[in-house]
Structure 1
Amino acid sequence: MCRWLAYSGEALRPSTVVLDSQHSLVAQSLRSSLGAETVNGDGFGFGWYPDDGSEPALFHSTEPAWNDRNLRELTRSIRSSLFFSHVRAATSAPVQQTNCHPFRYENWMFMHNGSIAQFHKVKRDLTFAVDPSLYPHILGTTDSEVLFHLALTFGLQDDPVAGLGAAIRHVEEVGRGHGLRFPMQSTVAVSDGSTVWAFRYSSEGRSRTLFHSADVPTLQAMYPDAERLKLFGPRARLLVSEPLNDLPGAFIEVPESTVAIVDSSGYHHRPFLPVA
């Protein structure tokens, strides 16, 4: 369906992971080893928080990530301590810039890998459940953007775990009302500019893959000759759809029905939505 990554830590040129790592996100757009689709070429997005504390900036393109020179220029020129990137394999919604992730509302960013089953059947009910004040901010036609605005409606800004959980439970309730056995498939990343929440959940209990990087100082001690590891500071943390390298122990799988939270103190795992 899609591949994504989120970075938090010392300010870094995003190209370090988006372009230049062994299994970078751009490499995964061509050859994903763990994704539902091998090729994720239906556009991409890049979003970053400027270090002056302002709202996140977005760059979206319908070009395949491997073929976009602007992405290379941008990610090699800026530095950011928190950024998202996403490569898309479209399911039903058309290839257009407004359908590219990440999505933004005020200081919040959101991206999704997965789908709401048979979205065309439930789209009207779900869209009408979005708060009227938020509805004008839905610019595209994806299930992912509707899920984001449902989460905002259900309190994402006050409590991201509870807000997204309530939105997913609503999707499942509506979906099952339409005869869908497994309405929700997802890994989701959300950030307010300081904390990142990464969720792995599906109604079936067989979610898309999600990993986070191991502690950088530990990895640097394990692999003292790995020059690329020296590019990362001790607070560098990555959340990814699939590992960016083949180093044993470099990436840890996030369990099913779990949210991995990244803040200034490190990683924290919490249970998320026992399978209904």
Structure 2
Amino acid sequence: MCRWIAYSGTPVLLSRVLFEPEHSLIDQSLHSRMGVETTNGDGFGIGWYAEDTALTPAVVRDVGPAWNNRNLQEVAHHVRSGLFFAHIRAATGTAVQQSNCHPFRHGRWMWMHNGMINGFRLMRRDLAVAVDPGLYPDIEGSTDSELMFFLALTFGLTEDPPGAVTRMVNLIEDTGHARGVRHPLQMTIAVANGERVWAFRYSSEGRSRSLYYSTEVAALRALHPDAAFLRDISDETRLVVSEPLGELAGAWNEVPENSYGVLQPGDDALHAFRPARAG
């Protein structure tokens, strides 16, 4: 499986989130505590939006492990962003190659995933032919994760992200069940358009991979008035992570099973996510 971080809020150097916390994503690439694998060394990727929101996000991906990549260190210590993704990969059957590293990008949209489509080899063709023919040529890699992204785009992601992801899940589960796969899907997903981030936690069996969101900054300041790093970020700053970045009391909250959240200007939101087959 994989580990990932989605950040939204005060523009910061990427290194402050990726390298500085005690259990940073870089530490998780070697010492994951909650993932299926302890080591996530089959590539990494970062994607970020510049202050000019008219631009598409920049994406840097590589097949090497995150813990010793000099290019990642160089970029992270010089790029500042208020909305970015970072992902470390543990491959689940598809090739270790650059085009299979997350996040994936299409226009202004970014997507990253932790989990898998069980029985993907049996279902790949059926799912691929459901992708809009106009979008299909833009698929670069061979992962289930990228195919999920293009299915969601096909089903209206740019207009209605929750509805599109619901339709994607229903197709995968219907296809899997037709092929005799009991629990077709395991997913935590982050998707962004430069202004908002949607984060989903769902699995067919109801035992999804770990996912957490950070507590509101104002509440954390009240709990930890001496924490200097909390003075430099806005009240709207929020992270969603595969596993907590440290042990600060009260800082992390588990995303409920079968739910999705929206990080957005103003109040964030948390909703139930129950596709048709969810029990």
Q: TM > 0.5 between the two?
A: yes
Distance 1:63 1:231, change over 3 A: farther
Cα deviation, residue 231, structure 1: 4.0
Q: Please list the CA deviations of residues 144-183 of structure 1 after superposition, one character each: whole Å capped at 9, or x if unmatched.
A: 0000000011111110000011001100000000000000
1:171 aligns with 2:179: no
List structure 1 runs of 4+ shifted beyond 6 angstroms: none
Alignment match, 1:72: 73
Cα deviation, residue 19, structure 1: 1.0
Alignment match, 2:15: 15
Cα deviation, residue 235, structure 1: 1.8
What is the SS of the residue equivalent to 1:270? strand
Aligned-partner Cα distance in 1 for 2:267–2:36? 30
Aligned-partner Cα distance in 2 for 1:205–1:42? 27
Q: Please list the CA deviations of residues 77-121 of structure 1 after superposition, one character each: whole Å capped at 9, or x if unmatched.
A: 011110000000001011100000000000000000000002111
Cα deviation, residue 224, structure 1: 1.7
Which amino acid in 2 is paired with 1:233? S
Aligned-partner Cα distance in 2 for 1:8–1:74? 18
Cα deviation, residue 266, structure 1: 3.1
Aligned alpha-carbon RMSD (Å): 0.9
Aligned-partner Cα distance in 1 for 2:274–2:118? 18
Alignment match, 1:6: 6
Aligned-partner Cα distance in 1 for 2:33–2:106? 32
Which amino acid in 1 is paired with 2:215? A
Cα deviation, residue 2, structure 1: 0.2
What is the SS of the residue equivalent to 2:35? coil
Aligned-partner Cα distance in 1 for 2:248–2:14? 20
Cα deviation, residue 244, structure 1: 0.7
Which amino acid in 2 is paired with 1:271? A
> Is there any run of 5+ residues in structure 2 with no aligned partner, and where?
none
Alignment match, 2:183: 182
Aligned-partner Cα distance in 2 for 1:266–1:15? 27
Aligned-partner Cα distance in 2 for 1:233–1:62? 34
Alignment match, 2:196: 195
Aligned residues: percent identity? 51
Cα deviation, residue 265, structure 1: 1.2
Cα deviation, residue 220, structure 1: 1.6
State the TM-score, normalized to the length of structure 1: 0.98
State the TM-score, normalized to the length of structure 2: 0.97
1:92 aligns with 2:114: no
Which amino acid in 1 is paired with 2:153? L
What is the SS of the residue equivalent to 2:249? coil
Which amino acid in 2 is paired with 1:101? H
Aligned-partner Cα distance in 1 for 2:89–2:267? 28
The more displaced of 230-239 and 137-146 is 230-239
Q: Please list the CA deviations of residues 167-220 of structure 1 after superposition, one character each: whole Å capped at 9, or x if unmatched.
A: 011000000000000000000000111000000000000000111100112112
What is the SS of the residue equivalent to 2:27? helix
1:36 aligns with 2:36: yes
Alignment match, 2:106: 105
Distance 1:41 1:231, change over 3 A: farther
Aligned-partner Cα distance in 1 for 2:232–2:126? 47
TM alignment of 1:17-166, pairs within 5 A? 17-53=17-53, 54-166=55-167
Which amino acid in 1 is paired with 2:61? H
Cα deviation, residue 229, structure 1: 2.9
> Is there any run of 5+ residues in structure 1 with no aligned partner, and where?
none
Which amino acid in 2 is paired with 1:236? T
Cα deviation, residue 228, structure 1: 3.2
Aligned-partner Cα distance in 1 for 2:40–2:230? 27
Which amino acid in 1 is paired with 2:7? Y
